[in-house]
Amino acid sequence: MDILSSVPPRSADPHLRDKIINTAAQLLATEGAVSARRLARELGTSTMVVYTHFGGMDELTRQVMRRGFADFGTELDRGAVTDDAVADWMTYLWSYRRFALREPHLYGVMFGPGLAAFRLGDPADLEAARSTFVSLLRRIHACVNAARWEVDDVTTAGEAVWSGVHGHTTLELTGFFGSVGRDPVRSYSEILTRMSIGLGDHALATARSLSTARRRAVRADRAEAASAR
Give, rounded to a whole angstrom, the gap between the first and last alpha carbons of the chain.
54
Binder of DNA out of 21, 25, 28, 34 (CB under 7 A): 34
Gap between the Cα atoms of 38 and 144, Å rounded:
49
Among 53, 98, 130, 141, binds DNA (CB under 7 A): 53
**Which of 149, 72, 177 is CA-nearest to residue 114?**
72
Can you tell me the distance from the alpha carbon of 85 to that of 73, in angstroms, rounded to the nearest whole number?
Answer: 19
Does 52 help bind DNA (rule: CB under 7 A)? yes
Footprint of a copy of itself on residues 142-161 (CB under 8 A)?
A: 153, 155-157, 159-160
Gap between the Cα atoms of 98 and 225, Å rounded? 11
Residue 154 binds what, of a copy of itself, DNA, none (CB under 5 to 8 Å, by partner type)? Answer: none
Site track for a copy of itself across 72-101, x = CB under 8 A: ------------------------------
Query: Does the protein bind DNA through residue 10 (CB under 7 A)?
Result: yes
46 binds DNA (CB under 7 A): yes
Binding status of residue 48 toward DNA by CB under 7 A: yes
Contact of 79 with 91, CB cutoff 8 Å:
yes
Q: How many residues lie near DNA (CB under 7 A)? A: 29
Task: Tell me if 23 contacts DNA by CB under 7 A.
Answer: no
Task: Give burial (CB, 10 Å; 0-12/13-18/19+) of 188.
Answer: buried
Residue 193 interacts, among DNA, a copy of itself, none and using kind-specific CB cut-offs from 5 to 8 Å, with: a copy of itself
Q: Is 155 helix (H, G, I), strand (E, B) or coil?
A: helix
> Which DSSP letter does residue 10 get?
-
Work out the number of other CB atoms within 10 angstroms of the CB of residue 151: 16
At 153, the amino acid letter reads D
Residues in touch with a copy of itself (CB under 8 A): 111-113, 115-116, 118-119, 126, 130, 153, 155-157, 159-160, 162-171, 174-180, 182, 186-187, 190-191, 193-199
